[in-house]
């Protein structure tokens, strides 16, 4: 073998080694991810979501409703932009972060590929996977043209806009994964950058509005106002969100390659080059880097403040609620913070809307929209977060093979599961309060019209609210226990098939039911409510024996795993 090292090769040979190594690394990552069931699950979920949305949109299209294709394209575009910003960054940020955390980045660097080859191989594999997911959705996007209200040019323009945004978001995540030591820090840095840019844009917008309205007057106000106006116009010119807003209107005919696409490509290439230049500086660690935990050990000396019996009566409830959820202080702190934000929104948003130029009768409508958005966000969290926490109660123990440590305390498996579920529920005890705050501020918008009908039948509405809370608890337990049982399935293929069945056919049926109810609502409302209540009763009756079977199966799986271990 030749003793000539990579450093002694000429430029042509180094380029050859770089590109060959990049292609080898690209092929390795693509082959590994092609065998991963999560990638195929993501494709299946995206395709079936579009199929469900298309089916729901086809019902009003059969009734010859106007601009159904434009509505379909708006939903797809906004959902796609949300997934690019939120999930896309988390997807790309794992490129180098997982190599750093596992301590395998040094082995990759020993191959002599070089920083450019490593970045091209890793980033190219993830970008190709994202392009595959988007390309498979292209037929549905083009199909929206046949629904009416949208042209083929608009569909292609929307597709190009989302792809350029994906390229920019991926390079931002790549740069963060190079600079930061782990995935959590890199994700946090990306979202802080996005939040900072949003706050800067909002500050310029409010400052320009205050100067133009004469609220803020000083010697340099005209110059500052013109600067803010220039910043706002340039940001709107290159912003993907504003670009989508200009595309998703009737009569759009601008060119496909616009300043937003060009700016995204230029910024993405600049971030990639910056990642390449700073690669060696931030990847010279010799040991795996784990996220540091800032734990402060305090000893309370007051008499009777910590009784051991309080902990050992329900040890796993105590573990989940006190250590993971920060106990009553964490719940109270979360409620106070959210209540403060709600009060700030209720008091501050009307002032901002008035300064911007909204009329007096338009402000209540905007406030209703803001609180409906609040209810949507908190409702989504209330629906997803509890069963996700319950479903992941045993994930760390199974991955770390520490399931046996749960039985160091003398408890039966069913008692341990009940304690874990109760502890996880206490962690999200503040979610109903968030919803109640939104409902309260919606009602006080017009008390004479909205509160008085509810006061007449307050007992019935209180019972209905209690039933809704109980139904929420039951649904969270049902899906949480089902997700917990999935963790014990060793076959990744079987697990993927089960997840695909649950996560796709459920939303498809729900969207079909919503479309059916929407079509019936204007004809016979009583039939709609009767159908909805009967469907809920039937689903509840069918789910109870299923929940019992899943619970018993989970207990048996725990015992079997303990016998094997």
pLDDT tens per residue across span 52-103: 656 665 555 555 556 677 777 877 787 778 778 877 787 788 777 777 777 7
pLDDT at 297 over 70: no
CA angle 8, 11, 12 (to 5 degrees): 115
Residue 161 has pLDDT above 50, yes or no: yes
Contact 485, 554 (CB under 8 A): yes
- Which of 25-34, 63-72, 267-276 is predicted most confidently? 267-276
Q: How far apart are CA 274 and CA 186, in angstroms?
A: 16
In the chain the first and final C-alpha atoms are separated, in Å, by 47
Is 551 a residue whose pLDDT tops 80? yes
- Taking residues 277-283, report their average pLDDT: 81
Determine contact, residues 283/96, Cβ cutoff 8 Å.
yes
349-404: pLDDT as tens digits: 777 667 656 667 767 777 777 777 777 777 777 777 787 788 777 777 777 677 77
Check whether 422 has a pLDDT greater than 80: yes
What pLDDT was estimated at residue 4? Answer: 43
Number of helices (H) and strands (E), helices first, in the chain? 25, 0
3-state secondary structure 249-282: CCCCCCCCCCHHHHHHHHHHHHHHHHHHHCHHHH
Count CA within 13 A, CB hemisphere, residue 472. Answer: 20
Collapsing DSSP to helix, strand or coil, 213 comes out as coil
Yes or no: say if 69 and 144 are a contact pair by the CB < 8 Å rule: yes
- Average pLDDT estimate for 249-277: 86
C-beta of residue 211 within 8 angstroms of C-beta of residue 225: yes
- What local confidence, expressed as pLDDT, does residue 11 receive? 58
pLDDT at 313 over 80: no
The answer for 292, left when phi > 0, alpha when psi is -120 to 50, beta otherwise, is beta
Q: What is the pLDDT of residue 523?
A: 54
Does the structure show a pLDDT above 60 at 219? yes
Residue 250's pLDDT band, with cuts at 50, 70 and 90, is: confident
Q: What is the pLDDT of residues 125-143, one digit of tens each?
A: 888 888 888 888 788 778 7
Q: Is the pLDDT of residue 193 over 80?
A: yes
Q: What does the pLDDT read at residue 358?
A: 63
pLDDT of residue 253: 78
Give the pLDDT confidence score for residue 450 in this predicted structure: 47
Residue 341: pLDDT above 50? Answer: yes
pLDDT given for residue 266 in this prediction? 92
All residues at 6 or more sequence positions from 334 whose CB lies less than 8 Å from its CB, including other chains? 430
Query: Does position 509 have pLDDT exceeding 80, yes or no?
Result: no
- Name the DSSP class of 308: H
Give percent above pLDDT 90 in the chain.
1
pLDDT band at 185 (very low <50, low <70, confident <90, very high): confident
Non-local (6+) Cβ contacts of 477 within 8 A are 387, 390, 421, 547
Average pLDDT over residues 276-286: 74
244 pLDDT tier (thresholds 50, 70, 90): confident
Lowest average pLDDT, out of 122-126, 193-197, 530-534, goes to 530-534
Work out the angle at residue 104's Cα, subtended by the Cα atoms of residues 26 and 283, and round it to the nearest 5 degrees.
90
Tell me the average pLDDT across 304-329: 64
Stretch 240-268: mean pLDDT: 84
Rounded mean pLDDT of the chain? 73
Evaluate if residue 20 carries a pLDDT over 70: yes
Give dist(CA 332, CA 545) in Å, integer: 37
pTM higher than 0.85: no
Which pLDDT does position 367 carry in this prediction?
A: 76
Residue 246 has pLDDT above 80, yes or no: yes
Closest C-alpha among 180, 116, 135, 133 to residue 33: 133
Q: How confident is the model at residue 495 (pLDDT cuts 50, 70, 90)?
A: low
């Amino acid at each position: 073998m030749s003793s000539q090292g990579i450093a002694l090769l000429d430029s042509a040979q180094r380029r050859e080694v770089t590109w060959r190594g990049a292609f080898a690394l690209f092929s390795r990552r693509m082959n590994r991810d092609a065998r991963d069931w999560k990638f195929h699950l993501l494709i299946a979920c995206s395709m079936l979501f579009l199929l469900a949305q298309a089916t729901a949109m086809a019902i009003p299209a059969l009734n010859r409703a106007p601009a159904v294709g434009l509505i379909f394209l708006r939903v797809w575009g906004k959902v796609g932009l949300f997934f690019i910003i939120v999930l896309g960054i988390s997807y790309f940020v794992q490129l180098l972060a997982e190599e750093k955390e596992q301590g395998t980045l040094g082995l990759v660097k020993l191959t002599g590929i070089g920083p450019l080859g490593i970045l091209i191989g890793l980033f190219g594999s993830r970008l190709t996977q994202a392009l595959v997911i988007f390309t498979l959705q292209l037929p549905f996007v083009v199909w929206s043209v046949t629904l009416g209200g949208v042209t083929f040019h608009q569909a292609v323009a929307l597709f190009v806009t989302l792809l350029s945004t994906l390229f920019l978001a991926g390079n931002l995540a790549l740069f963060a994964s190079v600079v930061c030591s782990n995935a959590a820090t890199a994700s946090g840095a990306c979202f802080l950058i996005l939040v900072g840019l949003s706050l800067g844009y909002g500050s310029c917008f409010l400052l320009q509005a205050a100067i133009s309205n004469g609220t803020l007057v000083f010697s340099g106000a005209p110059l500052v106002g013109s600067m803010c106006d220039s910043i706002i116009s340039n940001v709107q010119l290159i912003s993907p969100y504003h670009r989508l807003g200009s595309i998703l209107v009737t009569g759009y005919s601008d060119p496909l390659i616009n300043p937003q696409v060009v700016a995204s490509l230029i910024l993405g290439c600049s971030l990639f080059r910056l990642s390449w230049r700073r690669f060696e500086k931030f990847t010279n660690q010799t040991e795996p880097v784990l996220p540091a935990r800032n734990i402060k050990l305090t000893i309370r000396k007051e008499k009777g403040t910590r009784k051991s019996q309080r902990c050992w009566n329900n040890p796993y409830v105590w573990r989940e609620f006190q250590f993971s959820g920060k106990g009553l202080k964490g719940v109270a702190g979360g409620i106070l913070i959210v209540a403060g934000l709600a009060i700030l929104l209720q008091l501050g948003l009307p002032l901002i809307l008035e300064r911007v130029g909204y009329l007096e009768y338009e402000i209540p409508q905007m406030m209703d929209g803001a609180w409906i958005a609040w209810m949507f966000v908190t409702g989504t969290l209330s629906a997803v977060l509890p069963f996700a926490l319950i479903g992941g109660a045993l994930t760390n123990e199974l991955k770390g093979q520490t399931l046996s440590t749960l039985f160091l305390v003398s408890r039966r498996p069913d008692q341990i599961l009940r304690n874990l579920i109760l502890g996880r529920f206490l962690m999200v005890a503040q979610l109903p309060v968030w919803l109640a705050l939104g409902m309260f501020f919606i009602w006080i918008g017009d008390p004479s019209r909205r509160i008085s009908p509810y006061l007449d039948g307050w007992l019935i509405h209180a019972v209905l609210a209690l039933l809704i809370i109980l139904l929420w608890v039951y649904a969270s337990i049902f899906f949480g226990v089902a997700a917990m049982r999935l963790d014990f399935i060793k076959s990744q293929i079987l697990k993927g098939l089960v997840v695909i069945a649950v996560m796709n056919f459920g939303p498809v049926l729900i969207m079909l039911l919503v479309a059916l109810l929407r079509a019936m609502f204007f004809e016979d409302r009583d039939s709609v409510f009767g159908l909805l209540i009967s469907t809920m009763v039937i689903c509840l009756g069918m789910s109870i024996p299923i929940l019992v079977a899943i619970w018993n199966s989970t207990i048996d799986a725990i015992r079997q795993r303990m016998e094997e271990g």
